[in-house]
């Protein structure tokens, strides 16, 4: 199964991967089991860790040796400073628009210690929308691959359109079943979405029918449906493929989808073909996602090349 999309040469762009969208400071609460009404229990652990869909994907790609960048908005507060410092430590070229009157997005994440499954209670700060007058389209054309999330789908759609016009390949991280999010997918080359989103968008319960229908609907070159421990289904160039989840004992599944997208981008960037084989890209992304579940938080377990058994000079 070949992905019929060539990437711009590395020498032609200053950035390999640019992620635009959400950042977060996550308050991770590791519980003996998920709480029930009127109960009390003592947490195993409590941590404040960086997260957010786009920011985590950018860190994933940076750890795998690529020139990774991030664009987002945060408040002028302690949480925003922690997010910015974390990206700097990871060598992500971060352009963060700081809004003095805004509150940085935070989330309380309840992790069931017995299974690694989690529940996310997000606090979306006010005033974190993108101001288009502050941005330059040249930024969106500076990378080889662009990822946008569904935080601000109208803005993401404009950004993706500008990037594609400049020869940048586009990925997405969407999960909310909203019409404006579905409209964004018409500007995306490789749609990566949870299996539940694909079912909502197409009305198809069958995975093969779902990814095929969404590809036909949006014109995407490939549609990938992720289903956690049940693996991945994909449709590309008239072919259907499934890839099993990489086996691991999950400690915390937070950030698994973001890690998958970062791993997908890294594997695609490392390909020497103008039409790379999609199956090994999906297998690599699934392994990156699984390894990220081996530690608490969205970014702590993101693997480097050594964690994948690859030499430091390797690019995946």
pLDDT tens-digit readout, 128-147? 888 776 677 788 889 999 99
Q: Which pLDDT value is given to residue 42?
A: 87
Question: For residue 111, what pLDDT band results from cuts at 50, 70 and 90?
Answer: very high
Q: Which pLDDT value is given to residue 190?
A: 98
Question: For residue 34, what pLDDT band results from cuts at 50, 70 and 90?
Answer: confident
Q: Which pLDDT value is given to residue 316?
A: 61
User: Which segments within the chain are labelled E, that is strand?
Assistant: 15-20, 24-31, 45-51, 68-75, 93-99, 106-112, 118-123, 143-149, 169-173, 190-194, 222-226, 232-236, 239-243
CA dihedral 52, 235, 187, 80 (to 10 degrees): 0
Asked if residue 229 lies in contact with residue 245, where contact means CB atoms within 8 angstroms, the answer is yes
pTM score above 0.85: yes
Q: Which pLDDT value is given to residue 141?
A: 85
Residue 126 has pLDDT above 80, yes or no: no
Residue 313 has pLDDT above 60, yes or no: no
- Calculate the average pLDDT of the chain: 92
Residue 117 has pLDDT above 60, yes or no: yes
């Amino acid at each position: 199964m070949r992905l019929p999309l060539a990437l711009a040469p590395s020498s032609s762009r200053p950035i390999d991967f640019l992620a635009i969208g959400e950042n977060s400071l996550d308050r991770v609460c590791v519980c003996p089991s998920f709480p029930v009404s009127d109960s009390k229990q003592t947490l195993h652990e409590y941590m404040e860790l960086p997260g957010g869909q786009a920011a985590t994907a950018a860190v994933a790609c940076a750890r795998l040796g690529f020139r990774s960048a991030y664009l987002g908005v945060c408040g002028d507060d302690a949480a925003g400073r922690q997010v910015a410092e974390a990206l700097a430590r990871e060598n992500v070229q971060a352009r963060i628009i700081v809004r003095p009157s805004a509150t940085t997005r935070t989330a309380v994440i309840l992790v069931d210690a017995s299974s690694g499954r989690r529940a996310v209670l997000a606090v979306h700060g006010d005033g974190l929308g993108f101001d288009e007058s502050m941005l330059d389209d040249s930024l969106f054309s500076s990378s080889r691959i662009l990822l946008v999330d569904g935080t601000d789908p109208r803005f993401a759609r404009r950004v993706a359109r500008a990037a594609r016009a400049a020869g940048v390949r586009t990925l997405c991280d969407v999960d909310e079943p909203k019409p404006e999010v579905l409209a964004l997918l018409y500007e995306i080359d490789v749609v990566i979405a949870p299996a539940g989103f694909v079912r909502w968008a197409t009305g198809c319960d069958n995975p093969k029918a779902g990814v095929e229908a969404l590809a036909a609907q949006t014109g995407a070159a490939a549609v990938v449906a992720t289903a956690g421990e049940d693996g991945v289904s994909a449709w590309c160039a008239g072919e259907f493929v499934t890839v099993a989840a990489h086996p691991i004992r999950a400690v915390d599944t937070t950030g698994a989808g973001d890690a998958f997208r970062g791993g997908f981008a890294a594997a695609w960037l490392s390909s020497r073909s103008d039409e790379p084989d999609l199956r090994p890209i999906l297998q690599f992304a699934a392994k990156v996602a699984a390894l990220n579940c081996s530690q608490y938080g969205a970014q702590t377990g993101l693997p480097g090349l050594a964690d994948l058994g690859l030499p430091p000079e390797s690019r995946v």
